[in-house]
Amino acid sequence: MDRAWTRGTGLASAAVLAAGLVAGGYLMGNGLVRAHLADRSVTVRGLAERNVTADLAVWTLNYSEAGSDLATVQAQIDRDTQTIRRFFAALGFPDSALSPAGAGVQENFINGVQRVTVSQRLQLRTTDIARARAAVARQFDLVRNGVVLQEGSGMTYSFTKLNAVKPAMVAEATRDARAAAEQFAKDSDTGVGGIKSATQGYFSVEARDGEQAGYGVADTPFKKVRVVTTIDFYLR
């Protein structure tokens, strides 16, 4: 009888062990399935663009005079400076809109004759974009009055209120990304869940019509702000 009881007990233990292995295998397998489903996601990009107008204009005017006598050349530079200030005053700019931005004196000798060149920079800084554009359009009035503007005397326009439009543009880019994810989910007969991860690209501010300021190309106050976000959505 003891031998029969031992044999029965062994069979029961084996049955319990087998059942445990089966249950464990099922649970492990089901866990892997759940983990696999949790990893199902789609990565899409969302775009937001907005046309804006620059709110800051900066015009650095480079000019110089040359001659054999420093005092005479300096007097000519002073005359040019006053001409420039009168030019902007006539257009309605306050005197405080202009500020010195640097000066230099270069002396050399050509065939034993002293040659002095005095250069100076004045900078206009204003938030009156319409008036700034009018000034640029009339810059040859300065040339007609004897002020020769050198290369690098261009106007630059900047949009400084980026932080004011960032939140709305990020939300717009997120909506655009979700729309792309939903289209993907529809095509693959799934649904879109929450955001798994997201990366916000950098904001760029460029000329609205694609041209960049450079030699022979004037800067424009009409800008386009652009941001691209990359978002990983769960699929369900």
- Claim to verify: residue 65 and residue 78 sit in the same structural domain: yes
User: Are 165 and 216 members of one domain?
Assistant: yes
Q: 116 by DSSP, 3-state: which?
A: strand
Q: Which domain holds residue 172?
A: 41-53+161-235
Write out the E strands in 33-72.
Answer: 41-53, 56-67
Structure tokens at 80: 């040019």
The domain that holds 109 is classified in CATH as 3.30.70
- Same domain as 61, residue 153: yes
Residues 45 and 32 both lie in one domain: no
If one compares 73 and 3, the residue with the highest pLDDT of the two is: 73
Kindly state the percentage of the chain with pLDDT values over 70. 80
**Lookup: tokens for 226:** 């652009």
Q: pLDDT tens for residues 78-117?
A: 999 999 999 999 999 999 999 999 999 999 888 888 899 9
Q: Which of 116, 138, 157 is the last residue of a domain?
A: 157
Q: Which amino acid is at 101?
A: A
Average pLDDT over residues 156-174: 95
Q: Does residue 37 register a pLDDT over 80?
A: no
The predicted-structure confidence for 169-192, as pLDDT tens digits, reads as follows 999 999 999 999 999 999 888 899
Are 62 and 47 in a shared domain? no
Let me know whether 45 and 118 are in one domain.
no
* Domain boundary, last residue among 113, 141, 157: 157
Question: Is the same domain home to 106 and 116?
Answer: yes
Check whether 51 has a pLDDT greater than 70.
Answer: yes
Q: pLDDT digits over 147-157, tens only?
A: 989 887 889 99
Are 176 and 228 found together in one domain? yes
Check whether residue 63 and residue 134 sit in a common domain: yes
Residue 122's pLDDT is 96
Count of domains observed in the chain: 3
| Same domain assignment for residues 93 and 165 | no
Tokens for 151, please give them: 């290369």
How many alpha carbons fall within 13 Å on the CB side of residue 99? 6
Same domain assignment for residues 91 and 179: no
| Weakest mean pLDDT among 15-19, 67-71, 115-119 | 15-19
**CA 136 to centroid of chain Cα atoms:** 26
Which domain-ending residue is among 157, 180, 206?
157
pLDDT at 114: 86
pTM (predicted TM-score): 0.74
Look at residue 128 and tell me whether its pLDDT is greater than 90. yes
Q: What is the CATH number of the domain that holds 183?
A: 3.30.110.170
Same domain? 65 vs 151: yes
